[in-house]
Amino acid sequence: MKSPPILLCSLTLFCVSSAGVPPPQSYQANNMFAKWSPDGKRIAFTSDRDHDPEIYVMKADGSNPVRLTFAPGRDAHPCWSPDGRKIAFQSPRGGQDTHIYQDTHIYVMNADGSGQTRLTSLSGFSGVPAWSPDGKRILFQRIDEANPADNKWHIYIMKADGSNLKRLTSGPFDYQVPNWSPDGLHVIFFANKSGRDQLYVMNPDGTDERRLTDDGFSDNTAAWSPDGKRIAFSSERNGKRKLYVMNADGSQQKELVDMPGFQPLFSPDQSKLLFHAEVNGQTSIYAVRSDGTGLVNLTP
């Protein structure tokens, strides 16, 4: 009786078959869009470790990742409700067009992945949700590439149940990645109104817009510290994208991490920041102390 082929596998997941079957290629998962839970004990994030971008939750040290969504397409940008009971996210499920900017909507689910419910029904792409500190409203960005009159990114706001939808920005510019101030009185975002991405602040009703950064670089993806005194952001300076922090009024800008980081976010106790960065072709989630020391890869 002929013995079955024996597979000899190394710890690097490269396998050699005695039957001459070509070994599978190693797979480097990409992990990004990390958000702290309100108590700082868990992190929600997007990962394609199962070969399809889905929402996961892990402990704050990167251990015990649990997959929450199981739908075709790119489920991404999770955001916790202030009470930690729900997670808002974007998903293209149910759409007929595979383009990244179309057939994507805002969904909400319980923190364990149950009760997934769609909140938006707009054409085009609706994504990058941000829950207000009082839990009553959600900001997001939208574009409709199929509509020439509305093919720019704009910021919208709605109640947490998807009702009372309102567009906050206008004009032939791109407005992206809105985030709330801790007191809920302001919204920070980036826009290309000057010809390059710069940071802006406005009221939650879209009024009193003012420019926060005014330099020759591209500044984007920003978030306040929980005490409202500092802002972390990503910037391209000296030809390289890095993470920076500054005072809430835009003063005293300084480099935090010498890495190509995106979407920094302070921990609830302000001691750390989360961000994702692409290094050697792989995107991973990192944590660093608020003074820039103690860098750790949470998804190696």
Whether 292 maps to a domain, the answer reads yes
Question: pTM above the 0.85 mark?
Answer: yes
Is 7 a domain residue? no
Q: Is residue 52 domain-resident?
A: yes
Asked, for residue 185, whether it belongs to a domain, the answer is yes
Q: 194: domain CATH number? A: 2.120.10.30
Is 232 within the bounds of a domain?
no
Structure tokens at 28: 């480097």
Give long-range contacts, CB 8 A cutoff, 24+ apart: 87-94: 87/44, 87/55, 87/57, 87/111, 88/119, 88/129, 88/131, 88/138, 89/55, 89/129, 90/126, 90/127, 90/128, 90/129, 90/140, 94/118
289 in a structural domain: yes
Q: Quick check: is 198 in a domain?
A: yes
22-45 pLDDT, tens digit per residue, is: 434 567 899 999 999 999 999 999
What are the residues facing 261 on neighbouring strands? 277
Q: Tell me which residue range forms the domain holding 89.
A: 29-216+261-297
76 has which bridge partners? 90
Answer whether 146's CB lies under 8 Å from 123's CB.
yes
CA distances in angstroms from 15 to 22, 120, 274, listed in the order given: 8, 45, 35
pLDDT by residue (tens digit) across 208-258?
999 999 888 899 999 999 999 999 999 998 778 899 999 999 999 999 998
- Number of separate domains in the chain: 1
